[in-house]
Each structure stands twice: as structure tokens, then as C-alpha cells.
């Protein structure tokens, strides 16, 4: 019985295979002989496939249109920023004095313009980007990592080594495209900010301003230039770059450019660099203001140049404080270094507060007009003989 059942089962399966093959053959050779249900399902599948293809083409067309609009808007804002900055730099060159402070600050301004244009060009050319894996968008390295991801390049993990290698290899630079130029501009943003901090600090101590009081149209051109470049980065960054990210990156990179490695129990280099910038400039501002007002221990400055220099210094201090306020607080993972970390944090905060208060006092003292002491009127001595004759 078992053998008969197995033979019957095999016969039925063979008949089913024959019928299936015949059905497929009929569907291919003569579709009009297919049952109505199978024909409707086949047509529905083709219609869904065509609908998906049309939707995909429509999405691609919308993405290409959005890309064209975003790139056009970004290029337009970069153009506006370039024109405004060039107008400002033209005025700067015509009023340039050949002293180290003025020349260094002008070089930093030119580097800022070229770096901003290089980043905008790289973002405009490379639209398809990798994902950004940084967890904290307020991190000081967010701008650099986002640009590297958007242009398809490796992130800068060791700034001290990368910046030194980039500067040393400057004569042998071979850029393949604008993405390489954008990465180089990102690496040089930290040294550019450091150069500005050092130039302003030395200018405050030695009584040298990078430039005199600018006219109103030069200030408008400078504002339009800075806003245009920043807006170009935001538009071309496709939501990954925001206003202030580049400022935070430049201050956070100072510590990693100067220091070789983080020290256990102390704040990270990116945090220490911003604090050191704020403290150094604040102390210099305090010394300058008190010297011009009371002690007169530093070289004297004209009122207009002093006001300009103090305004620049105030901007640098605000940038450092903005970086500290919008960056994640450093934490200590090692349990045996927690006490040392708390002591270092307390001392760091105390030094920062004292320096900022000293800078505010110096700023107020320096911005107020200096009192002009009236010179005594000259007295004419009359000879005794003439007085007796009179």
C-alpha cells in the first residue's frame, strides 16, 4: 500500500508540473488564453512598476531642481560676500602701515576670505555627501567635520599633526579639486584665528592699531562680506552648517594647534584654547584702558586708534566666550582624576572671571574720552626799569 500511495503521489505531482508548464507556456505564447484574474494581476504589476519609475524620476527631478536652486543661492551669497570683503580690503590696503601688527592682521583677513570661498566652492561642487556621525551638533569640531563629510574627505582628528604637515607641504600642494582646497582652508582656520589674537594682544600692549577709524561705507561692506560668506556656508551646507559654527571651530582649534595632546585631569585642548584667548585679550584690554586713563605705563595711543583696537579686542573676547557658552562642558571619565579635574575647573573659572572683569574695566576706561589738562597761560615778565618808568 505504501508503494502504491507513493507512486500515485508522484504521478499527481508530475501532472501538476505539466499543467503548470503548460499554463506558463500559454501565458507567454497566447496571453489571450490566460484566465482573466491572472491577466489583471499581471497588468496591475506592470502599472505599479511604471508608477514607481515615474515617482522616482519625479523625485530625481525635484532633487535636481532643489540642488540647482540651493547652489545658485549659495553662489550668489558667496559673490555678495566676496564683493563686500574686497571693498573692505581695498580700503585696508590704501590705509596700511608697514608694522607687524597691521600686516599680520591684514594677512589673517585675506586668509579668512580665501578660506571662506574655498569652503563654499567645495560645498557647491560636491552635493552628494556622506552621513555626519557627530552626536553633539554644538561641538567645536562640528563645522570641520561637516565640511569634510559634505565634500567627501577624511576628517581631521589630530590638528597638531595635520596643520604642521599642511604648512610644511605648502610648496608641494597638488589639489585635485575644490574639495582638497576646502579641507586645507578648514585646517588653516585655527592658525588664522591665533594670528589675530596674537596681533591684537601685542597691539594693545605696544599701542599699535591694525587700522584707523574706518568710514561708514567700509563698515557696511565688511558686514555684508561676513554675512554673505556665512550665509553661503549655511545654504550650501544643506542644514548641517549653521551660523556661528565656523567661529566656534576657529576658537576651538587654537588649543589643538598649539598643544600636542590633552593632559589627563585637565580640560581638553579645544576648551583651553578658547579660555586662553579670552584671558589673554581681556588682560591686554585691562592694561591698555588703565594705562591710558590712570597709570600711563604703556605707550600712548590716539583716541580713534584706541577705540578701534578696543572694539576689535571686544569682538575677539565675545567670540571666545560664545565658543565656551555653546560648546559641551568637558567631563572627566577617570574616577581617580575627578578631584584634580574639579580643582582645575575651579581655578580655570576663577581666572576667566577675573580676566573678563578686568577687561570690562579697561574697556570702559579706554572708550571714555581722555581729559585734556589745560595748559597755563604764559606770563610776561616786565623789567623793573620799565615798570618804574610806567
Q: What is the value of pTM for the model shown?
A: 0.74
Is there a contact between 133 and 155 (Cβ–Cβ < 8 Å)?
no
CA atoms within 13 A on the CB side of 179: 15
Residue with cell string 606770563: 379
pLDDT tens-place string over residues 361-375: 988 888 877 654 344
Q: CA–CA separation, 354 vs 344, rounded Å?
A: 15
For residue 98, being part of any structural domain is answered with yes
Q: Is the pLDDT of residue 21 over 60?
A: no
Give me the helices (H) in the chain, please. Answer: 2-29, 36-94, 100-125, 142-151, 159-168, 178-187, 189-206, 216-236, 245-258, 269-290, 303-326, 338-367, 384-389
Residues 6+ apart with CB under 8 A from 210: 101, 102, 105, 106, 199, 200, 203, 308, 309, 312
**DSSP result, 69-120:** HHHHHHHHHHHHHHHHHHHHHHHHHHT---SHHHHHHHHHHHHHHHHHHHHH
φ/ψ (deg, to 5) at 369: -65, 140
Q: CA–CA separation, 273 vs 252, rounded Å?
A: 6
Structural domain containing residue 103: 54-367
CA dihedral (155, 160, 165, 166) positive or negative: positive
Task: List the grid coordinates of 297.
Answer: 605705563
Least confident residue range of 120-124, 127-131, 196-200, 283-287? 127-131
Least confident residue range of 201-205, 258-262, 376-380? 376-380
Within 10 Å of residue 200's Cβ, how many Cβ atoms? 28
For residue 10, being part of any structural domain is answered with no
Distance of CA 355 to the CA centre of its chain: 26
Q: CA–CA separation, 104 vs 196, rounded Å?
A: 7
Closest listed residue to residue 108, CA positions, set 181, 203, 194: 194
Within 10 Å of residue 147's Cβ, how many Cβ atoms? 31
Could you give the number of structural domains in the chain?
A: 1
DSSP state of 127: -
Residues 6+ apart with CB under 8 A from 293: 365, 366, 368, 370
Residue with more model confidence, 56 or 209: 209
**DSSP result, 210-242:** SS-PPPHHHHHHHHHHHHHHHHHHHHHTTTS--
pLDDT tens-place string over residues 316-342: 999 999 998 888 776 655 655 666 667
- Write the Ramachandran bin of 183: left for phi over 0, alpha for psi from -120 to 50, otherwise beta: alpha
Least confident residue range of 26-30, 152-156, 361-365? 26-30
pLDDT tens-place string over residues 179-208: 778 888 888 888 899 999 999 999 999 999
For residue 373, being part of any structural domain is answered with no
Q: CA–CA separation, 258 vs 276, rounded Å?
A: 11
Task: List the grid coordinates of 340.
Answer: 584634580
Residue with more model confidence, 155 or 82: 82
Q: Is the pLDDT of residue 387 over 60?
A: no
DSSP state of 294: I
Amino acid at each position: 500500500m505504501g508503494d502504491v500511495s507513493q507512486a500515485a503521489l508522484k504521478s499527481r505531482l508530475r501532472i501538476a508540473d505539466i499543467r503548470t508548464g503548460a499554463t506558463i507556456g500559454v501565458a507567454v505564447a497566447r496571453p489571450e488564453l490566460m484566465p482573466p484574474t491572472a491577466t489583471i494581476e499581471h497588468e496591475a504589476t506592470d502599472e505599479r512598476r511604471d508608477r514607481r519609475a515615474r515617482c522616482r524620476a519625479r523625485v530625481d527631478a525635484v532633487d535636481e531642481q532643489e540642488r540647482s536652486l540651493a547652489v545658485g543661492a549659495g553662489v550668489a551669497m558667496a559673490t555678495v560676500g566676496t564683493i563686500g570683503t574686497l571693498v573692505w580690503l581695498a580700503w585696508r590696503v590704501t590705509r596700511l602701515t608697514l608694522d607687524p601688527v597691521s600686516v599680520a592682521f591684514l594677512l589673517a583677513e585675506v586668509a579668512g576670505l580665501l578660506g571662506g570661498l574655498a569652503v563654499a566652492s567645495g560645498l557647491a561642487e560636491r552635493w552628494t555627501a556622506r552621513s555626519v556621525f557627530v552626536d553633539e551638533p554644538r561641538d567645536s569640531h562640528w563645522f570641520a567635520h561637516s565640511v569634510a563629510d559634505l565634500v567627501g574627505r577624511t576628517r581631521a582628528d589630530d590638528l597638531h599633526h595635520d596643520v604642521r604637515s599642511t604648512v610644511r607641504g605648502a610648496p608641494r600642494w597638488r589639489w585635485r579639486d575644490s574639495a582638497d582646497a576646502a579641507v586645507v582652508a578648514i585646517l588653516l582656520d585655527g592658525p588664522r584665528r591665533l594670528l589675530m589674537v596674537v596681533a591684537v594682544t601685542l597691539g594693545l600692549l605696544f599701542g599699535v592699531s591694525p587700522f584707523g577709524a574706518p568710514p561708514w561705507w567700509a563698515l557696511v561692506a565688511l558686514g555684508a562680506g561676513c554675512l554673505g560668506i556665512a550665509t553661503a556656508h549655511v545654504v550650501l551646507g544643506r542644514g548641517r552648517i549653521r551660523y556661528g559654527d565656523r567661529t566656534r571651530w576657529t576658537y576651538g582649534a587654537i588649543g589643538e594647534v598649539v598643544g600636542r595632546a590633552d593632559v589627563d585631569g585637565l580640560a581638553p585642548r579645544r576648551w583651553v584654547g578658547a579660555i586662553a584667548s579670552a584671558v589673554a585679550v581681556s588682560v591686554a584690554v585691562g592694561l591698555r584702558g588703565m594705562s591710558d586713563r590712570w597709570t600711563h605705563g604703556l605707550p600712548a595711543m590716539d583716541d580713534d586708534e584706541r577705540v578701534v583696537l578696543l572694539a576689535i579686542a571686544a569682538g575677539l573676547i565675545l567670540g571666545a566666550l560664545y565658543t565656551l557658552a555653546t560648546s559641551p562642558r568637558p567631563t572627566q571619565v577617570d574616577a581617580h582624576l575627578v578631584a584634580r579635574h574639579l580643582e582645575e575647573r575651579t581655578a580655570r573659572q576663577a581666572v576667566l572671571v577675573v580676566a573678563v572683569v578686568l577687561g570690562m574695566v579697561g574697556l570702559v576706561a579706554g572708550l571714555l574720552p581722555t581729559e585734556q589738562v589745560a595748559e597755563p597761560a604764559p606770563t610776561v615778565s616786565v623789567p623793573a626799569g620799565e615798570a618804574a618808568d610806567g
